[in-house]
Amino acid sequence: MKTTDTATPGVETPGPSGGPGPAVAKTAAPTPPKESGKEGAVLNVFSHGVLVIWAIMVVMPLLWAVMTSFKTDRAIFTSPWSLPDGLHFENWSRAWSQAHMSDYFMNTIVVVGGSLIGTLLLGSMAAYVLARFDFPGNRFIYFLFIGGMSFPIILALVPLFYVMQNMALLNTPHGLILVYIAYSLPFTVFFLTAFFRTLPSSVAEAAFVDGASHTRTFFQVMLPMARPGLISVGIFNFLGQWNQYLLPTVLNTEQDEKVLSQGLVQLATSQGYKGDWSGLFAGLVMAMLPVLAAYIIFQRQVVAGLTAGAVK
């Protein structure tokens, strides 16, 4: 009759000749489940709650402005939180034609479009050189651009005005374009320098081996690879330049050359005690729609550009 010996964990069992046998491995006692899952769930609920509250705080004013742009002046004051009784598109047409919003809109497109192209072109070229080439003064030039980000533009308004006046660039779209480019270059160079450093050097080296020049390598190889970063910094510059009010107020005072931000202020103050509130909200939504459309269209590219430098 066979008998089965059960070995106690961690105790040596006797061998066949009576000597000590091999020690049986001691099994670990089961560990109690951690409470990290519960804490993670609480943190997840809290973070999502904060995001929901933040989304409501951002979206509700936008929806209220759009809703108010279709109301009459009487409805705005008597029932500001109710839905409009009808779609009063005459508010939009009045703001577009009578308030000269069409002229301001076209001036803004010309100025912002030209400055955005110039900023991305010059900023990407400077950032590529600072990120890829080592030369005396590289870090000094880089920190000069960084210092430009911390310089308040309001301190340069008076000397900037006289410089623009001496160069005959006041009240001109190309003068405002040059100022916008200079104003946006520090952040653009700072952002794209870090982005170009994350791009692989082997691709540029292969282009050099094939006989490509530095110019061709930059425009045909490296610049297309930096597309997510260009889109991201382009969106940020577009937002800042589209909403810029201080610089055009000082440097652009003629009626025919005013931009959209100046037109909105003029629309709010030109009526005196008879405020055209419905037209003002319609003009506000007109100025807001291009910014929202640009962010919605390029939302994925903005996120990809911001996270591209995290993983090399």
Name the average pLDDT for the chain: 82
What is the C-alpha end-to-end distance of the chain, expressed in Å?
69
Judge whether 92 and 69 are in contact, CB under 8 Å: yes
pLDDT in tens, 87-137: 888 888 888 877 678 888 899 999 999 999 999 999 999 999 999 899 999
Report angle CA 210, 212, 218 to the nearest 5 degrees: 130
Question: Which of 160, 169, 182, 154 has its CA nearest to residue 246?
Answer: 154
pLDDT in tens, 262-304: 888 877 776 555 667 888 888 888 888 888 888 888 877 767 6
Kind and range of the H or E run holding 146: helix 138-149
- The residue written with tokens 């382009």 in the block is 234
Instruction: Indicate if the pLDDT at residue 166 is higher than 50.
Output: yes
pTM of the model: 0.76
Domains of the chain, by residue range, sit at: 90-307
Question: Which of 234, 232, 208, 230 has its CA nearest to residue 221?
Answer: 208
Question: How far from chain centre, in Å, is Cα 293?
Answer: 13
pLDDT in tens, 222-259: 999 988 889 889 988 998 899 898 999 999 888 788 88
Label residue 306 by pLDDT band (50, 70, 90): low
Whether the CA torsion 167, 172, 173, 177 is positive or negative: it is positive
CA distances from 284 to 2, 186, 277, 295 (A): 94, 29, 10, 17
From CA 274, how far away is CA 271, in angstroms rounded?
A: 5
Q: What is the 3-state secondary structure (H, E, C) of 40-94?
A: HHHHHHHHHHHHHHHHHHHHHHHHHHHHHCCCCHHHHHHCCCCCCCCCCCHHHHH
pLDDT at 312: 45
Q: Look up residue 273 and give its DSSP letter.
A: T
Domain at 90-307, CATH from 3.40.720.10, 1.10.10.10, 1.10.3720.10, 3.40.30.10? 1.10.3720.10
pLDDT at 189: 95
- Look at 12-16, 52-56, 91-95, 246-250 and tell me which has the smallest mean pLDDT: 12-16
Question: Which of 294, 278, 269 has its CA nearest to residue 67?
Answer: 278
| Exposure letters 15-42 (e unless 16+ CB within 10 A, then b) | eeeeeeeeeeeeeeeeeeeeeeeeeeee
Identify residue 212 by its one-letter amino acid code. A
The neighbour count for residue 271, using CB atoms within 10 Å, is 14
Average pLDDT (175-183) is 94
Here the tokens at position 80 are: 């500001």
